[in-house]
Amino acid sequence: MAETFAPFDISVHGYALMTNHFHLLTHAPEGGLSEAMQQLCGRYGSAYNQRTARTGSLFTGRFRNVPITSDAQLAWTGRYIHRNPLAIVPSTALAAYRWSSLGVLLGRRPAPPWLVTGTLLSGWSSPDDYLSYVVEPQPSDRLSKGVLAPLVTTSCDQIDAVVAAVVTVTDPAVFGRGLRAEDVARTLCVMLAVETRAADHEQLADRHGLSSPSSARRLARRGRVLASGSPWFAALHATVIETLHAAPTVRSAA
């Protein structure tokens, strides 16, 4: 990763390597993130195939990227990345997880020269305060963490209301791509309901007038594709999530 990112002047601020995927928090001021990720996945795939005597593509699809547009989003994105290993280790072992940057940020392991440690720790009086923020449940825990359910229950009514308030843009530069505002809103609603586990695909098909659960599944997938390839859609998605985070919550019994 260090060798691949260096020519593109891409810095890494956080990471979590999991059993079948990975998360990175990066800054690419000169662009080139897509090309760098293509090289990174290709190099890793080739090395893995050689080491394990396998052939074929290792990764099943294109990476997904979301732009960071606020300090609040930066904080909970870093927290999301560092909480990801909760799917395989208990919270008491989260800082000791070898394949995450959390232990490095806390000063428990040496920092590699390619990792920027100050960005996520800024605003916290001590590394222990940041650890508490990562480990302890927060009112904003609406999104699932891999196989883990959200800590906070989100309803479809909440999602629909926030999306209706956010998707009011009439700028032709945004919706001049053959997409109507109501289509963008419905895509966001379905995508977020799946992400927060507010409803299953059958319920979403009934709620949004879709022909079948498969249609709801395809619409959610379309939202993920748009979020990874369209900055304007990713910004809308991030704004909705941030608004939901600030909304009153009802803690789940799970």
Report yes or no: 108 and 116 within 8 Å, Cβ to Cβ: no
pLDDT at 143: 62
Final residue before a domain boundary, out of 109, 136, 163: 136
CATH number at residue 71: 3.30.70.1290
pLDDT at residue number 254:
29
* Whether residues 213 and 171 fall in one domain: yes
Residue 164 makes CB contacts below 8 A (sequence gap 6+) with: 185
Question: What pLDDT is stored for residue 250 in this prediction?
Answer: 41
Does 20 share its domain with 56? yes
- 49 domain residue, yes or no: yes
- Specify the pLDDT at position 108: 93
pLDDT of residue 150: 56
> Final residue of a domain: which of 101, 136, 171?
136
* Domain match, 80 and 180 both: no
From the centroid of its chain, how far is CA 249?
A: 21
The reply to whether 220 falls in a domain is yes
The reply to whether 60 falls in a domain is yes
Start-to-end C-alpha separation, the chain: 37
Q: Which domain holds residue 85?
A: 1-136
Within a domain: residue 64?
Answer: yes
**Run of H or E residues at 76:** helix 71-83
Residue 65: inside a domain, yes or no?
Answer: yes
Inside any domain, residue 146: no
Same domain, 188 and 124: no
Q: What total number of domains does the chain contain?
A: 2
> How many CB atoms sit inside 10 A of residue 144's CB?
15
**CA separation for the pair 243, 89 (Å, rounded):** 30
Shared domain for 189 and 230, answered yes or no, is yes
Q: Is residue 183 part of a domain?
A: yes
> Are 20 and 116 found together in one domain?
yes
Judgement on whether residues 54 and 86 belong to the same structural domain of the protein: yes
Asked whether residue 160 falls in the same domain as residue 45, the answer is no
Q: Are 63 and 105 contained in the same domain?
A: yes
Quote the tokens at residue 39: 């090289």
pTM across the whole model:
0.61
> 3-class SS at 206?
helix
| pLDDT of the chain, 254 residues: tens digit per residue | 899 999 999 999 999 998 888 899 999 999 899 999 999 999 999 999 999 999 988 887 778 788 888 888 888 889 989 988 887 888 889 999 999 999 999 999 999 999 999 999 998 999 999 999 998 876 556 666 554 555 567 889 989 998 988 886 544 444 445 567 788 899 999 999 988 888 999 999 999 999 999 999 999 998 888 877 777 787 788 788 777 776 654 433 32
Q: Tell me: do 115 and 28 sit in the same domain.
A: yes
The last residue of one of the domains, among 75, 110, 136, is 136
Q: Do both 127 and 170 map to the same domain?
A: no
Q: Do residue 31 and residue 77 come from a single domain? A: yes
